[in-house]
Amino acid sequence: MKRRDFLKSVSGLAAGAALPAIPSVISSAKADARSETLLIVSEGGPNNLDIHGVGTNVPGYEVSWNCYDRLISHEMKVGPGGVPYYDRDKFKGELAEEFKIDDMSVTFKLKKNAKFHDGTPVTAKDVKWSLDRAVTVGGFPTFQMSAGSLTKPEQFVVIDDYTVRVDFAKKDRLTIPDLAVIVPCIINSELVKKNASEKDPWGLEYTKQQTAGSGAYKVTKWTAGTEVVMERNEDWVGGPLPKIKRVIWRMVPQAGNRRALLERGDADISYELPFKDFQEMKASGKLNVVSLPFSNGIQYIGMNVTKPPFDNPKVRQAVAYAIPYQKIMDAVMFGLANPMFGAPKDKPTEVAWPQPHKYNTDIEKAKALMAEAGLANGFETTISFDLNFAGVNEPLCVLVQESLAQIGIKTTINKVPGANWRTELNKKEMPLFTNVFSGWLDYPEYFFYWCYHGNNSVFNTMSYKSAEMDKLIDGARTAAATGDTATYDTDVKGFVDLAYSDIPRIPLYQPFVNVAMQKNISGYQYWFHRRLDYRAMAKG
């Protein structure tokens, strides 16, 4: 922690200091290359260039998004603060020239001039092979496909060289959006098959090291943990030709250095900085800082409802009244989040997610509830968090610890190493913890299906089970698929209300994704995956 404090103070000093102009050390040819190159610095880099790979990390998603095409993608709309934001409900063709949605299937006509990076044309058999691969390789891609009821290779039918039909397994509103996420990317099947082996029929080893797509960029150099270099694909037909010719993405582990690189003008874009840095950079106005809420994402305090004392709703409500919400917003998030608490008493529940609950910090009320629960003298418990996000989690837990002590709940803080966090979540034994969940698909029932449903998925971290809740969630899913708006609205309002009165998890805030960039960089777009889309960006 000390190192981080020091960094903050150094960067704090830096923000106020005037920078002397220095003679450029880069020769003029290099300067030209520079103006067409985007230099990104971030903490971590990809471990695999293929999202279908085993354990591909989140930076790997960014490579896949920019180097592969999907059949369809989202249109853009104007989001908060005028920033382009993906439109959840509108789709456009990327590799598909047109697509027609029927009752139980969707048919795609492919663009005839689309070519993979090696020049082979993109055909229907590539599409089928790629989608088959996504639903069969196992792990995350298969799981994500199943979220849209895409589970069997038989669902993908080749009609002719440039026409593909996707059959629906059942009516599901999430099927079409699920075809526009990162996973169903179209891969050069012939090229990969040539490099596949008996042990590795889908050629995962090959696509791990190189991109074999038709996307706007291709990876020309990748040194794991150090840098990724991507060049523009001049023959891209998925959209207008991108303005940025070359993307250099360097891994700079020190947050303070990333900020220094930005402020000196050496790097073009960075994310993953401490919130305090973002807030200061915002205030100084030398850089463009974009902050947008995570779509369908919430940081929360969860309680294990299977074990005393948190099996008692009164205790959970007491905790909800004891959380120092505003302090967390100010001291931990530096205001860079949407509050999810303290809605006015008379505010009707909306058909939306996330939305704030009506709890506020009220120690007296919390104490009264504790007394009602027969625990006026309090109890002892532990609060756990993921060390990978210690920058937020640690101060947050300290504040919660301090506040809970006032109603007699003595907590010890349990720091769980990142590698171990998911194992711990899966065990479902931690009594009290903080965590973030955010879904790619921005629908309330999607969030609730994973986080509150009695089928007890990994994300139902509280082990919450309620027959009434299940009925409402399933009801909303069916209603969404059949287009029954009235039932859908009642069910969504119903499960939000129930989640807030039973309060197994206490939403704190909707976090922001923060990106800092030079003033001459334009075209940043917010996507559900929260990574950069280079295709729309421009420099100068």
Partner 1 sequence: MLTMIGKRLMFAIPSLIGVVIVTFLLTRALPGDPAAYFAGPAATKEAVEQIRKKLGLDRPLIEQFFRYTNDLAHGDFGNSLTTGQPVAAEIRNRLPASAELTLLGLIVSIVIAIPLGVLAATRPGSWVDHLCRVTTTAGVSLPVFFTGLVLVYVFYFQLGWSPAPLGRLDVFYSAPQTVTGFYLIDTLIARDLEAFRSALSQLILPATTLAIFSLAPIARMTRASMLAVLSSEFVRTARASGLSPATVIVTYAFRNAMLPVITTLSMVFSFLLGANVLVEKVFAWPGIGSYAVEALISSDFAPVQGFVLTMAVMYVLLNLVIDILYGVIDPRVRLEG
Nearest approach, Cβ of 143 to partner 1 (angstroms)? 5
510 SS3 class? strand
Nearest approach, Cβ of 387 to partner 1 (angstroms)? 9
- Distances, alpha carbon 125 to alpha carbons 114, 136, 188, in Å: 14, 16, 10
Q: With respect to partner 1, which residue has the nearer C-beta, 101 or 224?
A: 224
Q: With respect to partner 1, which residue has the nearer C-beta, 87 or 205?
A: 205
Residues near partner 1, by CB under 8 A:
3, 6-7, 10, 14, 17, 19-20, 22, 25-26, 30, 33-34, 37, 39, 41, 46-48, 53-57, 138-140, 142-144, 208-209, 223-227, 248, 250-254, 256-257, 260-261, 263-264, 266-267, 417-420, 422-423, 426, 457-458
Q: With respect to partner 1, which residue has the nearer C-beta, 246 or 327?
A: 246
Q: With respect to partner 1, which residue has the nearer C-beta, 138 or 240?
A: 138
DSSP character at residue 299 = E
The b-or-e profile of 485-508 (16+ CB within 10 A means b, else e) is eeebebbbbbbbebbbebbbbbbb
Nearest approach, Cβ of 419 to partner 1 (angstroms)? 3
Q: With respect to partner 1, which residue has the nearer C-beta, 6 or 330?
A: 6
- Distances, alpha carbon 285 to alpha carbons 10, 42, 264, 516, in Å: 18, 21, 14, 11
Instruction: Give the Cα separation of 133 and 184 in Å (integer).
Output: 9
Q: With respect to partner 1, which residue has the nearer C-beta, 426 or 482?
A: 426
Q: With respect to partner 1, which residue has the nearer C-beta, 30 or 112?
A: 30
Write down the residue that tokens 């290779």 correspond to: 153
Q: With respect to partner 1, which residue has the nearer C-beta, 207 or 291?
A: 207
Nearest approach, Cβ of 460 to partner 1 (angstroms)? 12
Instruction: Give the Cα separation of 152 and 166 in Å (integer).
Output: 10
Q: What distance separates the 2 farthest-apart alpha carbons in the chain?
A: 76
- Measure CA of the first residue to CA of the last residue in the chain; give whole Å: 38
Instruction: Check: CB of residue 40 under 8 Å from CB of residue 269.
Output: yes
Tokens (6 digits) for 511: 């976090």
Nearest approach, Cβ of 335 to partner 1 (angstroms)? 26
Nearest approach, Cβ of 73 to partner 1 (angstroms)? 21
Nearest approach, Cβ of 137 to partner 1 (angstroms)? 9
275-284 vs 255-263: helix crossing angle, rounded to 10: 10
Nearest approach, Cβ of 35 to partner 1 (angstroms)? 12
Omega prior to 511 cis, within 30 of 0: no
